[in-house]
């Protein structure tokens, strides 16, 4: 007779698809792409981008400044997330520590700042960097959601329990004392 195994035994011992993906050669490619994009954007913005910005009208120059700041912010968030995940992959952090530290890396979906018609008037290299960074952002946000959804779901009940405990202490503190 075959031994019946408990389903929970399997789920405890399985590695999620997202965890495997995050520690695979695909992640190394994603990491290299992300860090390369950071370097490419910095090189453009500190070099040719300065000259490109000088040729723009005043309004378009303002849009250029907004988009370059948003690009830089987006890329710094993505680089921080990639570095955090690499630390897990290399054993410097546990996945649980990364889930806690992840809250310090605030990933947010950042769209373009300029209206589409104005964005199209910006220098082509800036447009391309922005579009590539947004595609990378989309991929990382998806991977982040897959990796940390379970950890966040597990933290929510604990947070609610802590809040309920504090509310109960307040209720007891303000209840009239019977002598």
Residue ranges and CATH numbers for the domains of the chain are: 17-148 (1.10.8.930)
Mean pLDDT by 10 residues, the chain (179 residues): 46 49 78 97 97 96 97 96 90 83 77 94 98 96 83 54 69 65
- Using the Cα atoms of residue 157, residue 87, residue 84 and residue 13 in order, give the sign of their dihedral: negative
Contact between 73 and 110 under an 8 Å Cβ cutoff? The reply is yes
Which positions ≥6 away from 28 have C-beta within 8 Å?
Answer: none
CA distance 123 to 53: 8
Look-up of token digits 């109960």: 168
The pair of structure tokens assigned to 33 is 């792409």
CA dihedral 165, 167, 172, 176 (to 10 degrees): -170
CA distance 147 to 85: 10
Other Cβ atoms closer than 10 A to 153? 9
> What Rg, from alpha-carbon coordinates, does the chain have?
23
Look-up of token digits 């999620």: 16
- Model pTM? 0.72
Residue 6: what pLDDT? 46
Contact between 56 and 64 under an 8 Å Cβ cutoff? The reply is yes
Look-up of token digits 């290399």: 90
Residue 39: what pLDDT? 98
């Amino acid at each position: 007779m075959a031994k019946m195994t408990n389903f929970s035994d399997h789920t405890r011992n399985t590695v999620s698809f997202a965890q495997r993906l995050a520690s695979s050669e695909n992640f190394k490619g994603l990491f290299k792409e992300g860090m390369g994009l950071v370097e490419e954007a910095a090189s453009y913005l500190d070099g040719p981008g300065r000259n490109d910005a000088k040729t723009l009208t005043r309004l378009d120059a303002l849009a250029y400044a907004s988009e370059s700041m948003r690009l830089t912010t987006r890329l710094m968030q993505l680089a921080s997330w990639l570095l955090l995940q690499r630390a897990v992959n290399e054993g410097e952090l546990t996945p649980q520590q990364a889930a806690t530290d992840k809250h310090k890396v605030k990933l947010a979906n950042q769209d373009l700042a300029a209206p589409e018609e104005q964005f199209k008037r910006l220098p082509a290299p800036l447009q391309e960097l922005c579009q590539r960074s947004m595609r990378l952002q989309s991929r990382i946000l998806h991977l982040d959601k897959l990796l940390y959804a379970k950890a966040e779901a597990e933290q929510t009940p604990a947070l609610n329990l802590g809040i309920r405990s504090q509310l109960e202490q307040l209720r007891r503190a303000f209840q009239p004392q019977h002598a």
